[in-house]
Amino acid sequence: MVAAADPREAVIWAALDEIPDPEIPVISVVELGVIGGFAFEPDTRGGERLTVDLLPTFVGCPAIDVMRDQVGERLRGLELADEVEVRISFAVPWTSDRISLEGREKLRASGFAPPALMAIGAPSVPESDLLTMAVVATCPYCGSRNTTLENPFGPTLCRAIYHCADCRQPFEQFKAV
């Protein structure tokens, strides 16, 4: 017999989906794929602890502490457990493939080029210019691939700056990892 899913799980996922990424607020922490999972466990006082694993997009991500605090505050407010612990976890590395399809569309619609998918069966690296090995980004405004990398260092570690030669718009690409 299969055990029924804990009804609190849906409540937790819905609450986490309301927390925006601090650096790119059009996408939630769930859509970004930084929630590694959660579990209810007994705590030291005979109660129950909700433990959440948070996966940083990059080592040294400046937003990780803000995300940890927001996740903890939001889940404590639900009062589903006596304690809430949010752990920064490197046990399972975050990759850009964890960004949901809805999250990728939200990135594109807000002027960010989503990263190329690098899942099993996909090319080992994103499509690139073979001469320079620069990642080819699709312009989120006009869909052109006639783009150039202007600076691999965007405003945060996870973004790069590109320029579209067709619509002449600068844009950021969320780096594929």
In the chain, where the domains are located:
8-88, 113-174
Query: CA neighbours within 13 Å on the CB side: how many for 157?
Result: 11
The rounded percent of the chain whose pLDDT value lies above 70 is: 88
Collapsing DSSP to helix, strand or coil, 83 comes out as: strand
**Which pLDDT belongs to residue 40?**
95
Distance CA 2, CA 26 (A): 37
Which token pair is 26?
């059009």
Annotate 11-72 with DSSP letters as a single string.
HHHHHHTTSB-SSSTTSBHHHHT-EEEEEEEE-TTSSEEEEEEE--SSTT-TTHHHHHHHHH
Q: Which pLDDT value is given to residue 5?
A: 79
Of the options 2.40.50.1020, 3.40.250.10, 3.40.1380.10, 3.30.300.130, the CATH number for the domain spanning 8-88: 3.30.300.130
What is the pLDDT at residue 130? 42
Q: Note the pLDDT of residue 134.
A: 56
Which residues of the chain, if any, have pLDDT below 70? 1-4, 119-135
> Quick one: pLDDT at residue 61?
85
pLDDT for the residue 132: 45
pLDDT number for residue 157 = 81
Encoded tokens for 156: 């945060």
Strand, helix or coil for residue 138:
coil
List own/partner pairs for 158-167 with CB under 8 A and 24 or more apart: 158/23, 158/57, 158/58, 158/61, 159/112, 160/135, 162/113, 162/137, 164/139, 166/139, 166/142, 167/139, 167/141, 167/142
pLDDT of residue 75: 98
